[in-house]
Amino acid sequence: MSEWPDPAIDYVQAITDTKLILGHRYAQWSLSGPTLEDDIGGASAAQEEIGHVRQLMRELEAQGRDVDWLSGSREPKEFANAACLDQIDGTWSSYMASIAPADRAAWYLLDAIDQDDLEGLITKMGEDEYFHLEYHDARLETLADDDPETVQRTLEETLPQALALIGPAAYDEDEDPLYDAGFTDRPIAEIRESFADHYRDLFADTDVSLTDVDWEAPALDDWDETRRRIGTGAVAETDVKQIRGEENQLFAMN
Amino acid sequence: MKYEVFARINQGDDTIHIGNVTAKSDRLAKMYAHNTFDEEDWDRLVVVREDDVLEVTDGSKPELEVATNE
């Protein structure tokens, strides 16, 4: 087990917390899809995300993080999940346009990690993520035809929040501390560009316009580098309570 | 659109029909098939548009009047 540079622990924590809340949201919405196949896909993705979380938590524990804290014994404002997962109201279209950017951003951050002892783990997660992301894009393409207003309105909010999870544009190859430390193989600025290009291409020939998306967010001065977001928002206490498994200890994570 | 789903478990096995999915695009049909028929570690999983299935029997039977010397 290699010793990570300090910012790397927060970086992996943000990926892990995003996956933890993603798994929770997938499960919550897995009986709300427009077809049975969508529900099956959501339930499957929920299990895979929680599987990833369990593996990543072991890595974080090995770096000194407390296992009870990792498993949910903490305040909502101590979770470093993508802000677009804090609360998902509205329709299934807005749900899909919220989880998709978060899942893709978390995968891009994970894929950028360049550590030999994590390579096998990340490769396996990538096999799962390929199908998550391909499904999201396939579904967003159809929703761009069926419900373009909701998709566009939601993405105008969630894409900048996912970009905040990735990190500020100022973290280029000269300024990104994790790239500089060799923990990642590409700077944040490059990851952001790939992320933005992907969504611009996906919606290029649709009725969804991304011209009003703030592609420059977050400003470095406003960015919380620990929670990888802007502001003090957080998941609800009820979400954390469910994640802790308080109501049924049989299903607690540890 | 309806899609027929075919799969095989091991290379060299027969590729068999395992079900169908209905989806709004080819891309979505592939993901539906992957998620819905996830009970095996398939070597190959494919979907075929129902419209692309070529009928052989075409629902008709040979007619008695067909002469053997035709």
Q: Least CB-CB distance to A37: which of B21, B25, B27?
A: B21
Amino acid A250: pLDDT: 63
Provide φ and ψ at A231, rounded to 5°: 90, -175
Overall number of domains in chain B? 1
Binning chain B into helix, strand and coil, the percentages to the nearest 5 are 20, 30, 50
Query: Does the residue B32 lie in any domain?
Result: yes
Query: Does the residue B69 lie in any domain?
Result: no
Q: Which two tokens stand for residue B37?
A: 């028929």
Amino acid A246: pLDDT: 80
pLDDT at B70 over 60: no
Half-sphere exposure of residue B3: CA atoms within 13 angstroms, side-chain side:
22
- Whether residue A138 and residue B25 make contact (CB cut-off 8 A), yes or no, is yes
Query: Does the residue B18 lie in any domain?
Result: yes
Query: Does the residue B43 lie in any domain?
Result: yes
Amino acid B55: pLDDT: 86
Query: Does the residue B68 lie in any domain?
Result: no
Interface with B, mutate which of A26, A135, A146 (most B CBs under 10 A):
A135
- The domain made up of A6-251 has a fold known as Ferritin (1.20.1260)
- Whether residue B24 and residue A142 make contact (CB cut-off 8 A), yes or no, is yes
Mean pLDDT of B27-40: 93
- One digit per residue, pLDDT tens: chain A, 254 residues? 678 998 999 999 999 999 999 999 999 998 889 999 999 999 999 999 999 999 999 999 999 999 999 999 999 999 999 999 999 988 999 999 999 999 999 999 999 999 999 999 999 999 999 999 999 999 999 999 999 999 999 999 999 999 999 999 999 999 999 999 999 999 999 999 999 999 999 999 999 999 999 999 999 999 999 999 999 999 999 999 999 888 776 655 55
How far away is chain B from the Cα of A35, in angstroms, using its nearest Cα? 9
Work out the pLDDT band at B51, boundaries 50, 70, 90: very high
Q: Which two tokens stand for residue A105?
A: 């951003």
Q: Pick from A21, A213, A198: which is nearest to A104 by CA?
A: A198
Query: Does the residue B70 lie in any domain?
Result: no
- Whether residue A138 and residue B21 make contact (CB cut-off 8 A), yes or no, is no
Q: Least CB-CB distance to B32: which of A37, A137, A141?
A: A37
Amino acid A144: pLDDT: 97
How far away is chain B from the Cα of A34, in angstroms, using its nearest Cα? 11
Residues of chain B above pLDDT 90, percent: 70
* Tens-digit pLDDT profile for residues B8-20: 999 999 999 999 9
Amino acid A50: pLDDT: 96
Q: Give the residues across from B44 on adjacent strands.
A: B8
Amino acid B63: pLDDT: 65
Please give the DSSP secondary-structure letter assigned to residue A184. B
Query: How many whole angstroms from its chain centre is CA A16?
Result: 8
Q: Pick from A173, A184, A180, A175: which is nearest to A223 by CA?
A: A175
Q: Are A129 and A103 in contact (CB under 8 A)?
A: yes
Query: Does the residue B23 lie in any domain?
Result: yes
Could you count the other beta carbons within 10 Å of the beta carbon of residue B41? Answer: 7
Amino acid B66: pLDDT: 60
- Whether residue B28 and residue A41 make contact (CB cut-off 8 A), yes or no, is no
H or E, element range at A12:
helix A6-29
Amino acid A252: pLDDT: 55
Work out the pLDDT band at B59, boundaries 50, 70, 90: low
For chain A, how long is the longest CA-to-CA vector? Answer: 49
Q: Before A218, cis peptide (omega within 30)? A: yes
DSSP secondary structure string, A56-111? HHHHHHHTT--HHHHTT-S-GGG----GGGS---S-HHHHHHHHHHHHHHHHHHHH
Interface of A with B (CB under 8 A): 35-37, 40-41, 44, 131, 134-135, 137-139, 141-142, 145
Amino acid A244: pLDDT: 87
pLDDT at B68 over 80: no
Q: Are A84 and A102 in contact (CB under 8 A)?
A: yes
Tell me the residue range of the domain where B34 lies: 2-52
Amino acid A254: pLDDT: 52
Q: Pick from A85, A91, A102, A100: which is nearest to A141 by CA?
A: A100
Kindly calculate the radius of gyration of chain B based on its CA atoms and give it in whole angstroms: 17
